[in-house]
Structures are given as structure tokens and as C-alpha cells.
Amino acid sequence: MTKPLLLGGEPAHSERFLDVHHPYTGARIGVVAMATVDQVREAFRIAQAYRPALSRYERADIMNRAAAMLRMRLAEAARLISLESGLCQKDAIYEIGRVADVLNFGANEALRDDGQVFSCDLTPHGKRRKVITMREPLQGVITAITPFNHPMNQVAHKVVPSIATNNRMVLKPSEKVPLSACYFAELLYEAGLPPEMLQIVTGDPREIADELIGNPHVDLITFTGGVAIGKHIAARAGYRRIVLELGGNDPLIVMEDADIERAAELAVQGSYKNSGQRCTAVKRMLVHASLVGEFTEMVVEKTRHWRYGDPMDADTDMGTVIDEAAAMLFEQRVNAAVSQGARLLIGNHRDGALYSPTVLDNVHPDMALVRQETFGPVSPIIVFKDIDDAIRISNGTAFGLSSGVCTNRMDYATRFANELHVGNVNIWEVPGYRIELTPFGGIKDSGLGYKEGVQEAIKSFTNGKTFTLPWA
């Protein structure tokens, strides 16, 4: 049983609690405070009043220490993720490794000087002066709001750049998975982080979200989640910087020259890892007509062997999705697609929050299953006839996050790189491929503002300043 973690505002005095349940069994596995609007205001007041003064060395040291502690506590932390999210242990263990990477990359960035020096005697009217640039933390407080699908890594991607830049953050994790965020915060406090630099508020977003967006101390809102709430934040934020990392509908495109076995392996990995709940999961398989038969057979075969079930079992390849409501939505979308002519080849079995990996072919790009984001382990196969067709279908949704392409032809690779309306193009990789340091994020409905990834986030979390001085 996970011990109750009570953070946010004045949690010890909170009379209202939020229960956290294990999606596989429904058992109550923890409890957090349900913060009031007044407690959220107090968190911002504390943050605004505090001026972080950690040296670069101290910030790096805290993050490296937290990474080392997390690696030591891998089993405990991964267990917590599986318990509250239903993600299987394999996925949770992988996530902890990523979180430790984020911390180490953040530490490296904190140590890297970011200033530039410009001489001013470059033109006839220049002077013997120099311009020096530097990056400063924000004057106000950062609000961070995170989704459920990577309970700790999404939180790490907000918190680490904030620490690296000596900012103050108030973070609201998803009410579906608040325990991993609290665990991460406690780890950082233990590693030496002043608590004023990171406060976690947990609660009901219908009650506290407006304060998180509109509190006068907020300078930046960094949000990762669905399009609807992202656009709601954009409409309410007013004169504040916003960073929105939103939904995806990523294709894996299989060209006629592809090695079919290798492509099918990428397809299932990209579709089912993390229970299909990645913004960059493969949500559409676009396959050239000449090899769709063989490709589909291989995907079905691999799906048959994908072990799904108890998230806590070390051999399970896929646990539950986040809750029963999500599983029911996938079931409904698949049934609707079938009623419109799609063919169900395997899957679409539901038991509570457990939803089996599912493959359909004869899928048309207009079906809601593939036009909207279906955030679960569903593999819809769509046929195309040539590269123009593949690019047209790929670009034909409101989303533009990432993509994966299976081809060995350089002419195809460069056309996809130039013509796909997305933030990332991965040749011979799943759309989700990235390292935690590099820029990551989408366009169109998939994101607005700076990208994520430790380096890019640092740019969005700071203000540039220049100062000039005489230089004889």
C-alpha cells in the first residue's frame, strides 16, 4: 500500500481528499489533499515572495543527486507508477530511466554558460563597446499542468528546466496520477531543493484551474494535455507566455521498399507501448497497397503475442489504460468504425480498464477513429497508393505532432522531411523516438509556443537580457 502523500497549500490541515485508485483492481492505493482556491493562492504567494539564489553548481548537484537516488529506488518508483496509472512494470521501469535522464540533462544545462559576447566595432559607426547577453529567470511564477499518461516524466519535463534556471513553479499534476508527481517532488526536496522553488497542488481542476491560469503572480503557463483544455487555457491566459504541448494523431508510413518485418515491429511497439497512451503513439498505420496484405498479417500475429493484463506482473507487455471510461471510448470508436466498413482483425475486448490490443483494416481516413485522437492501443491500417497520397492522408487531420517513416529511399525521406506538417519526422523509428534533451513538440492543434525537451524548455522559462559596456 502506498503511504498517503499530502502536499499542496496547507495539506496537513486539508479536510478534503482525493482518492487514487489502481485501474486494474479498483483498489484505493493512496490519497492526496484536494486543495482549495485559497490554498492555491497561498502557494503562489509563497513562490512569488521567494528569490532562488542557488548557484549553477548547486542546481546541478541537486538534480544529479536526485537522478542517482531515483536510479537506486527504481523498483519503488516504478511500482508507484504502475499502481496509480495501470501502466505495466516494463513501461514504468522505462519511464523511470527517462526521468533520471531528464535530471542529468538538466544538471548539464545548468552548468553550461548561456551568455554571448558581441563586439560593437563591427561597422563604420560602431563603438569600442561590447554587448553581453544573459538569460534570467522569470520575474513571476511558472504554472505547470501535466497529463496522466507519463505520470512522472511529464512532471520532470516541467520541473527540471525550472530548477535549472532558478525559477519558482506551482505544478498541478493530473488528478488521475498525483502520487508520482508528489514522489518526484519529495525526492527533489531530499536532494536539497528549497520547497519554495517547487510546490505541488493537487485537486479538482474544475475548482482550482482558473486560479492556476489567472493568478496575478503567474508569468508563464506550461501545459501538456489535450487540445480542448489547451485551447481553453490559450483563451483565458491573457498577457502571459504560454507553452502548449497537446494531442497527436501520428502516422507510421510504410513505403513499398520497406522491410515488412521491421516495419511491423515498429508498428506494434509504437502502437502498444505505454498502453498506446503516448501523444506520439502510432495512431494511424499508412501502408503502401503493394505490401499491405503481408504487413497486416504480421501486425496481427505480433498483436496476438502482445501479453496484456496485470500491470504488476513483470512479464506483462501492456497493462490497463487509465480508466474504464477511456476503455469504453475506444470500444465505441472501434465499433463505429466497423459499422462504417472497417474490419476488426483482432482485439476490442474490454474488461474494466483493461483493453486488448486491437487491429483493424479497411479503415478510411474520414472515420472518427483516425480523424480524432484515439488515445489507446488501437492499430488502424489505412492503404495508400503512392507518396503523394501518403503525404495527403498524413497531413489530413487537425494534428501535427510527429511521424515515423519506413523507407530506405533518400528521395522519399527528404520529401517526408520537407512536406509532412509535423514537428518531428523519424526515418525507421516510431514517431515517439526522441532523447530527453532535444527539441520536441508539434504544430497545428498539437502545440503552440516553444517546444519541450530540456534545452528548448529552458529558453521558454527565461528572459533574455543584454547589457553593454565600454571596452577600450
Under DSSP, is residue 140 helix (H, G, I), strand (E, B) or coil?
coil
Question: What values do phi and psi take at 255, rounded to 5?
Answer: -85, 170
Between 246 and 287, CB nearer to ligand NAD: 246
Out of 192, 195, 214, 226, the only residue in the binding site for ligand NAD (CB under 6 A) is: 226
102 interacts with ligand NAD by CB under 6 A: no
Active-site residue (options: 84, 88, 109, 279)? 279
Pull the grid cell for residue 471. 571596452
Question: Do residues 452 and 245 lie in contact, with contact meaning Cβ atoms separated by under 8 Å?
Answer: yes
233 interacts with ligand NAD by CB under 6 A: yes
Pull the grid cell for residue 104. 542529468
Between 162 and 224, CB nearer to ligand NAD: 224
Cα maximum dimension of the chain: 79
Q: What is the Cα–Cα distance from 342 to 252, expressed in whole angstroms?
A: 19
Q: What is the Cα–Cα distance from 465 to 255, expressed in whole angstroms?
A: 48
Number of residues engaging ligand NAD in binding (CB under 6 A): 29
Between 279 and 292, CB nearer to ligand NAD: 279
151 interacts with ligand NAD by CB under 6 A: no
Region binding ligand NAD by CB under 6 A among candidate stretches 5-13, 228-236, 254-262, 310-318: 228-236
- What is the amino acid identity at position 223? F
248 interacts with ligand NAD by CB under 6 A: yes
Out of 247, 276, 319, 432, the only residue in the binding site for ligand NAD (CB under 6 A) is: 247
Region binding ligand NAD by CB under 6 A among candidate stretches 45-53, 74-82, 224-232, 408-416: 224-232
Distance from CA of residue 173 to its chain's centroid?
12
439 interacts with ligand NAD by CB under 6 A: no
* 279 in active site: yes
375 interacts with ligand NAD by CB under 6 A: yes
145 interacts with ligand NAD by CB under 6 A: yes
Q: What is the Cα–Cα distance from 170 to 172, expressed in whole angstroms?
A: 7
Out of 84, 245, 361, 445, the only residue in the binding site for ligand NAD (CB under 6 A) is: 245
Under DSSP, is residue 452 helix (H, G, I), strand (E, B) or coil?
strand
Task: Kindly provide the residue ranges of all beta strands, DSSP E only, lying in 165-276, ordered along the sequence.
Answer: 169-172, 198-200, 218-224, 241-245, 250-254
175 interacts with ligand NAD by CB under 6 A: yes
CB of 122 to ligand NAD, least distance (A): 40
Region binding ligand NAD by CB under 6 A among candidate stretches 129-137, 220-228, 263-271, 359-367: 220-228
CB of 425 to ligand NAD, least distance (A): 16
Active-site residue (options: 245, 373, 452, 456)? 245
Torsion, Cα 301 305 310 315, to 10 degrees, reads -150
Q: What is the Cα–Cα distance from 284 to 396, expressed in whole angstroms?
A: 12
* 324 in active site: no
Question: Do residues 33 and 18 lie in contact, with contact meaning Cβ atoms separated by under 8 Å?
Answer: yes
For the chain, first and last CA: distance in Å? 68
147 interacts with ligand NAD by CB under 6 A: yes
Between 84 and 361, CB nearer to ligand NAD: 84
CB of 243 to ligand NAD, least distance (A): 10
CB of 34 to ligand NAD, least distance (A): 12
Give the residue nearest to ligand NAD (CB).
225
Question: Do residues 29 and 58 lie in contact, with contact meaning Cβ atoms separated by under 8 Å?
Answer: no
209 interacts with ligand NAD by CB under 6 A: yes
Sign of the torsion angle spanned by Cα atoms 362, 368, 374, 376: negative
Sign of the torsion angle spanned by Cα atoms 32, 40, 149, 331: positive
Question: Do residues 419 and 394 lie in contact, with contact meaning Cβ atoms separated by under 8 Å?
Answer: no
> Residues interacting with ligand NAD, by CB under 6 A?
145-149, 154, 172, 174-175, 205, 209, 224-226, 229, 232-233, 245-248, 279, 373, 375, 401, 442, 446-447, 452
Give catalytic residues, as residue numbers: 245, 279
